[in-house]
Amino acid sequence: MRSEFLSFSPPCLSEQEITAVTEVLREGAWLSSGPRTKLFEENFKKTVGAPSALALNSATAGLHLGMLVHGVGPGDEVLTTPLTFCATANVVEHVGGTVTMADIDPETLLINPAEIEKKLTPKTKVISPVHYAGHPCDMKTINALAEANGSFVVEDAAHCMPSKIGGDWVGASDNLTSFSFYATKNMTTGEGGMLTGKTEWVDRARVLALHGMSRAAWNRFAKGASWKYDVPAPGYKYNMTDIAAAMGLVQLSRLDELFERRMTIVELYKKELGASPYLQILKTLPGYQTSWHLFLIQLNLETLKITRDEFIEQLQAANIGCSVHYKPIHLMSYYAEKYGWTPESFPNATRAYERMISIPLSSKMTPQDAADVVEAIQTICKKNAR
- In order of start, what are the domains of the chain with their CATH numbers? 15-254 (3.40.640.10), 256-383 (3.90.1150.10)
Catalytic residue list contains 164: no
- pLDDT surpassing 80 at residue 215: no
- pLDDT surpassing 90 at residue 228: no
Least confident of 130-139, 149-158, 206-215: 206-215
**Count of other CB atoms within 10 angstroms of residue 382:** 9
- pLDDT surpassing 90 at residue 29: no
pLDDT at 233: 87
pLDDT at 179: 99
- State the Cα–Cα distance between residues 20 and 39, nearest whole angstrom: 13
- pLDDT surpassing 80 at residue 225: no
Catalytically annotated residue among 123, 125, 185, 338? 185
| pLDDT mean across residues, the chain | 96
pLDDT at 216: 63
The whole-number average pLDDT for the span 355-360 is 98
pLDDT in tens, 35-65: 999 999 999 999 999 999 999 999 999 999 9
Q: What is the pTM of this model?
A: 0.96
pLDDT confidence of 218, banded at 50, 70, 90? low
pLDDT at 325: 98
Least confident of 114-118, 208-212, 292-296: 208-212
pLDDT confidence of 30, banded at 50, 70, 90? confident
pLDDT confidence of 273, banded at 50, 70, 90? very high
pLDDT confidence of 223, banded at 50, 70, 90? low
